[in-house]
Structure 1
Amino acid sequence: MTAVTQWKKSSYSGGGEGNACVEIADLRTHIAVRDSKAPARIPLTFPAAR
C-alpha cells in the first residue's frame, strides 16, 4: 500500500471504544481490509466487483 491510500472505518466494526475496528480501502481494482490495531501488516485484498 502506498501513503496515499485512504482507509475508512467499516460500518461493521461496531461502536463503543473502537476495539474491534476494521478498516477498508477502495483501490479501484481491489478492496483492501486491515485491522486498525496493526496497520503496518499486509492487508487482505479482494477483487472489486465493478
Structure 2
Amino acid sequence: MNRSPNWHKSRHSGPSGDNCVEVATIDDHIAVRDSERPTDVLMMSRDAWRVFVGSLQAS
C-alpha cells in the first residue's frame, strides 16, 4: 500500500476525538485501532470483520 489509510470513527465519539475505536480499509483487509494508541493496529479479513460485527449486533 502506497498511501495512508483513511481512518473512520463513529460520529458519536464526541468532539474531543480521543479514546475512540477507528476503522480503515487497507487493501482487502479491515484495520482496527485505538485512537490513543494509533501504532497498534489489529488487521482482519473482510469475512472475519463481518462475523465480528454480526456478533456485536446479535448481542
1:10-29 → structure 2 map (5 Å cutoff): 10-11=9-10, 14-29=13-28
Per-residue CA shift, 1:4-49, capped at 9, x if unaligned?
A: 22232322763243343111110121000001111122x1111124
1:30 aligns with 2:51: no
Q: Per chain length, whose mean CA-contact separation is higher, i.e. which structure has more relative contact order (CA < 8 Å, sep 6+)?
A: 1
1:44 aligns with 2:42: yes
- TM score, norm. by length of structure 2: 0.54
Check 1:36–1:29 CA distance in 2 against 1; reply closer, same or farther (3 A cut): same
- Structure number with greater Rg is 2
**Which structure carries more helix by proportion?**
2
Aligned length: 47
Structure 1 unaligned segments of length 5 or more: list them.
Answer: none
